[in-house]
Amino acid sequence: MQYLHQYGNELEDLLAKSSRDKKLLHEFLFDILSPKEYKDLAVRWQIVKKLAKGEPQRKIVKSLKVSMATVTRGSRELMNKKGGFKTALDKFYR
């Protein structure tokens, strides 16, 4: 599975470079992801933001029409103080 790490690194580098051009990033994401995958990623980010603001999990489930398991996973990942969700929120939204 070494190739997964290599492929992941390449994808991360491409996303970092593409992020400098919002139109290119948008087009790339729409090409590489299915409409459902794109929606799922966007909704997961909204879950994390709502959790970080202290919104109750059950309210998030109802407002975003997602499963409790999806919200719980986001909550669990957000608890990791050195994780990507927490770091991104602190860097870009606080």
**Quick one: tokens of 89?**
């929120």
The pLDDT confidence band at residue 2, using thresholds 50, 70 and 90, is confident
**6-53 confidence digits (pLDDT tens):** 899 999 999 999 999 999 999 999 999 999 999 999 999 999 999 999
User: Helix, strand or coil for residue 33?
Assistant: coil
Report d(CA 32, CA 28) in Å as an integer: 6
What are the structural domain ranges in the chain? 1-32, 34-94
**Quick one: tokens of 91?**
């860097």
Q: pTM of the prediction?
A: 0.84
Pair 93, 56: CB distance under 8 Å: no
Question: CA-based Rg of the chain, rounded to a whole angstrom?
Answer: 15
Q: State residue 1's pLDDT score.
A: 66
